[in-house]
Structure 1
Amino acid sequence: MPQLARLAWDDLRVVLEVARQGSIYAAAKILKVDHSTVTRRIAHVELIMERRLFDRSNRGITPRPETEHLLEHIRSMEMHAAAMHEELERNVATRVRAIRVATMEGLASGYLARRIQEITLDEPGIRIELFSNPHIVDLLKKETDIFLSFFDPMIPGLISEQIGETAIYLYGSARYQALHGLPGSREELGAHRYVGYIPEMVSIESVRWLDQLVPNALLAFCSNSVIAQRNAAIAGAGLAVLPTFVGDETGALFRVLPDQIRSLRPVWMSVARDQHVLKTISRSAKAISRIFVADRAFLLGDSPWIERPAPTSPVKA
């Protein structure tokens, strides 16, 4: 029989982190220990459990199928330990909990940053870290606490829900109109110039909105930054397909053929299941969801931006 009483939490958390990272060295970096310590603790747990826990290959380290049951127990232990730690920290008045929210640049800069005070008012003991990332982040590796995207990640271990949607339109500027005119119909779109993403750098299909609305568009300017695209469109470099929170933000762009060129993107919010029990994360997630519900008309392009008065006291969920 395995001598389970000889297993310490420090041993088990090493097993969990190696499973998450798929690498001894990556796990050691996260845990802030030497890689030899990680190797030694893995060997110790394998000795106690009387079986190998991982398969090793050139591609990294992966948990063996029979290890998954152990990992579930360790995740549960970690979840309860984190909840207890959070509860203890509530008694420390000066403690500030950092909540990292990851999403695409436009959603971060053009929308969320303008509503961020509503999240911090809901939970005054937190600091929001808004992380702009064009790629899918790994919530299970704790790269972020909350992930907002235009798609359902459909990853086991995540709690994901659609919290809203946004419209995308074709936008132009007065300078572009003066230089090139404007299309009067869909049939005239091919005669115009456009700004958009660098095609080979698009890793998320849901942002290929130019390809969807204007197939075979002639690109005059490309950038992996949607804010740079907007600014180039304002300067007259070309027409741009943008979500409302980017295209309508400055007032320097107007919609072109809005009755014909329009599409919708769902907004999904994802949180790791073992993090969702933490009150600071769950309350922050609820606050973000409320913001999207309140701004539905703006996000769909049916109303202008509205500055809401700040509440006099935090709203409790």
Structure 2
Amino acid sequence: MSDGSLDWDHYRTLLAVLQEGSQSGAARALGVSQPTVGRHVEALELAAGKPLFLRSHQGLLPTETALSMRSHAESMAASAAALARAASADGEAPEGTVRISASEVIGLAVLPPILADLQDRHPRLTIELWLSDAVEDLLRLEADIAVRMVPPTQGALVSRRIGAIPLGFHAHRRYLDRHGTPENLVELLSHRLIGFDRQLPYVRQMLTFHPELADARFDFRTDSNMAQLAMIRAGGGIGVCQTALAATDPDLVPVLPGLIDLKLETYLVMHEDLKASPRCRVTFDALVQGLLAYLAPERRRSRG
């Protein structure tokens, strides 16, 4: 497929229709008229020489051709967003937009004070915080900087190991008063457990070191770590959370402390092409300092 009349707007429309499932939904998402979306789709189908969507009672169903184009359209969208962030900077001062990818817990409970202080010092910085537990591809420029819970394996990245974030089983005092406190792993597995629904990369890494937890049956399952923490705080059962966060709530009690050593290795990662960018460099340094400070109490306890 080759047609010089096609531009990024056409592929952005294709991506919107794939995401929304209809031309009307794509038009609303893009802020354009439905006839404009229709013209873009027709131009793409003309260039491809085959249909991209089939109509059904469920909406527009993408053909194999449309699905094969999706990853390329997503790459174009990421590149366009990265170009816009790069263009937002002016001169040598730290200004412009920086997009950060972080897990839900880190993004909601740890990063806000770090980023607030950063923007106090550099008010011309704009921060985009993308909450995701998935390992985002920095090489595709989906984010400028990522806080990751697994070691980076891609080349062309600048990375800094922050350290291991301790995790532990915790329960609300109310739950333990009603159901008792387990004294060993066998008793723990008989309690109402709060855990994950899918084995995300950090979960698989944890089970590699603690295969005994693979037999755990979760009575409450969610891939949202914040939802797990909320359920623990509600007295819904025993679950795993960061010990530093649990320590801020006097009603959360460690369960079997020291029996199972759970840790999340944490890394800060950035594409090497961005290390000379003032907006990214100052943000990367601030995140390193802030995350190290977050881990400092745990490091002092482990040395003690």
Q: Could you state the TM-score of these two structures normalised by the residue count of structure 1? A: 0.64
Residue 135 of structure 2 corresponds to 136
Q: Considering only aligned residues, what root-mean-square deviation do their CA atoms show, in Å?
A: 3.9
Shift in Å, 1:102: 0.9
Q: 1:172–1:115: structure 2 CA closer, same or farther, 3 Å change rule?
A: same
Residue 116 of structure 2 corresponds to 117
1:202 to 192, 199, 219: 199
- With 183-192 and 207-216 compared, the bigger mean Cα shift is at 207-216
Asked if the contact 2:95–2:122 (Cα under 8 Å) also holds between the matched residues in 1, the reply is no
Q: Deviations over 1:239-286 (max 9, x none)?
A: 011122443343331211212133222111111122222111011000
Asked if the contact 1:168–1:263 (Cα under 8 Å) also holds between the matched residues in 2, the reply is yes
Asked if the contact 1:194–1:238 (Cα under 8 Å) also holds between the matched residues in 2, the reply is yes
Q: Could you state the TM-score of these two structures normalised by the residue count of structure 2? A: 0.66
Residue 11 of structure 2 corresponds to 25
The structure that is helix-richer by fraction is 2
Q: Secondary structure at the match of 2:169?
A: strand
Q: Work out the CA distance in 2 between the residues paired with 1:194 and 1:301.
A: 30
* Structure 2 unaligned regions, length at least 5: 17-29, 31-39, 48-64, 73-78
Q: Secondary structure at the match of 2:193?
A: strand
Asked if the contact 2:89–2:95 (Cα under 8 Å) also holds between the matched residues in 1, the reply is no
- Equivalent residues in 2 for 1:138-287 (5 A)? 138-198=137-197, 201-206=198-203, 209=206, 212=210, 214-287=213-286
Q: Secondary structure at the match of 1:274?
A: helix
After the TM superposition, which parts of structure 1 deviate over 6 Å for at least 4 consecutive aligned residues?
27-30, 34-37, 81-85
Q: Deviations over 1:198-241 (max 9, x none)?
A: 1xx33324476479373422311111211111121122221011
Percent identity (aligned):
22
Q: Work out the CA distance in 2 between the residues paired with 1:60 and 1:194.
A: 42
Q: Work out the CA distance in 2 between the residues paired with 1:254 and 1:301.
A: 20
Shift in Å, 1:124: 2.6
Q: Secondary structure at the match of 1:214?
A: helix
- With 292-301 and 271-280 compared, the bigger mean Cα shift is at 292-301
* Structure 1 unaligned regions, length at least 5: 1-10, 18-23, 41-55, 64-74, 304-317
Q: Secondary structure at the match of 2:240?
A: strand
Q: Work out the CA distance in 1 between the residues paired with 2:137 and 2:87.
A: 24
Q: Work out the CA distance in 1 between the residues paired with 2:255 and 2:175.
A: 12
